[in-house]
């Protein structure tokens, strides 16, 4: 299940086609690729799939909507469920839960509409990051140095989301952390990747579109102690929120080794087997793409309801 309504349609279709090949290579020959649209429910009722492999980004795919539809249709599916998907896609709730667990996140201001911004000017240090609260693939993201650049950056961000975030910029290393559930009921942290940007300080859409602007270092050049701290926090968030199957956390680590969690991607992209983060992490761990899709199917078929164990003051 891929495609959908968002600007990430192209990336979702690429990921879906790559996963389709992996499923077929793993022996699942009775497969069909769905480019999700408003008739998807009737298509699913007609096709009657035994299992749905999720590769749908953003709207409907990462916010719990399609997961809820699949549960109503009693179709098992891969990845996180309704509640965990919705929480991780909503940065406000994700940050609130992380903070309640003692895990640091950047300071952030949210605006529900473009008109709200004019009622309250944020008191935030510059440089800062302006981004759509509801979007992926780094679309609409800007790093700005002065307040005079804020209005233009907000206008850009509101093109991609009804809610926009103005976020504290954390100077330091960017570390991405993959997590996967294995068939033996273990949750495993995959080798971490350090992202180094050339001519850029953040992973914006320019970097996404041009891999030459970014260097990926695996394993990340961090101490064993710091690696264990990041792993522990990522596992805690994954389990407490109730994520399942797979996640990829993005973090920033300062020179003082303070760890800040930026987001949890519950539907990591797989645009290119040689360049995408998750396949690289799987390969380093000795997990083939065919084994990965099998892991996800087993986990989805054995799905259990995870209750949120976090209480926020």
* 51-96: pLDDT as tens digits: 999 998 877 888 889 999 999 999 999 999 999 999 998 888 899 9
CA torsion sign for 160, 164, 166, 170 is negative
Q: How many CA atoms lie within 13 A of 251 on its CB side?
A: 31
144 bridge partner residues: 128
Q: What angle do CA 91, 57, 88 make, to 5 degrees?
A: 25
Domains and CATH numbers, the chain: 2-78 (3.40.50.20), 85-104+172-299 (3.30.470.20), 108-168 (3.30.1490.20)
**Residue bearing tokens 């956390």:** 249
* Model confidence pLDDT, tens digit, residues 175-202: 999 999 999 989 999 999 998 876 555 6
Nearest to 165 by CA among 256, 57, 92: 92
Sheet holding 164-168, edge to edge: 108-111, 164-168, 128-132, 142-144
Nearest to 181 by CA among 172, 173, 190: 190
Give the rounded percent of residues in the chain with a pLDDT score beyond 70: 86
121: DSSP letter:
-
- Label residues 221-256 b or e (16+ Cβ within 10 Å = b): ebeeebbeebbebbbebbebbbbbbbbbbbbbbeee
Q: Give the tokens for residue 231.
A: 């792993």
Q: Is the pLDDT of residue 15 over 80?
A: yes
Please, which residues have CB within 8 angstroms of residue 18's CB and are 6 or more apart in sequence?
270, 271, 272, 273, 289
In this predicted model, which residue has the larger pLDDT, 216 or 65?
65
Give the rounded percent of residues in the chain with a pLDDT score beyond 90: 53
- Res. 151 pLDDT band, cuts 50 70 90: confident
In 7-157, the DSSP E strands lie at: 35-36, 108-111, 128-132, 142-144
Summarize the confidence of residues 146-164 as an average pLDDT.
84
In the chain, the DSSP E strands lie at: 2-3, 35-36, 108-111, 128-132, 142-144, 164-168, 173-181, 187-189, 193-197, 214-217, 246-253, 259-265
């Amino acid at each position: 299940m891929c495609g959908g309504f968002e600007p990430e349609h192209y990336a979702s279709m690429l990921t879906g086609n790559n996963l389709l090949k992996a499923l077929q290579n793993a022996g699942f020959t009775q497969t069909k690729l769905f480019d999700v649209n408003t008739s998807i429910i009737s298509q699913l009722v007609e096709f009657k799939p035994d299992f749905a492999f999720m590769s749908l980004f953003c709207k409907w795919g990462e916010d719990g909507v399609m997961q809820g539809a699949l549960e109503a249709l009693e179709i098992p599916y891969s990845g996180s469920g309704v509640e965990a998907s919705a929480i991780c896609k909503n940065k406000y709730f994700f940050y609130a839960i992380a903070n309640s667990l003692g895990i640091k996140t950047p300071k952030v201001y949210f605006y529900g509409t473009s008109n709200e911004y004019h009622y309250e000017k944020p008191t935030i240090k510059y440089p800062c990051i302006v981004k759509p609260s509801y979007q992926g693939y780094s679309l609409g993201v800007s790093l700005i140095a002065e307040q005079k650049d804020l209005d233009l950056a907000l206008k850009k961000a509101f093109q991609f989301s009804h809610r926009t975030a103005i976020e504290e910029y954390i100077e330091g290393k960017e570390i991405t952390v993959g997590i996967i559930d294995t068939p033996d009921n273990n949750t495993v942290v995959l080798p971490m990747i350090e992202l180094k940007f050339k001519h850029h300080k953040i992973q914006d859409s320019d970097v996404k579109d041009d891999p030459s602007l970014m260097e990926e270092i695996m394993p990340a050049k961090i101490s064993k102690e710091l690696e264990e701290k990041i792993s522990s926090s990522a596992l805690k968030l994954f389990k407490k929120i109730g994520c399942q199957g797979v996640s990829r956390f993005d973090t920033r680590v300062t020179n003082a080794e303070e760890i800040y969690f930026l987001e949890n991607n519950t539907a990591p992209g797989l645009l290119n087997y040689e360049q995408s983060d998750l396949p690289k992490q799987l390969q380093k761990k000795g997990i083939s793409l065919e084994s990965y899709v099998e892991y996800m199917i087993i986990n989805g078929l054995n799905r259990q309801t995870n209750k949120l164990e976090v209480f926020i003051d």
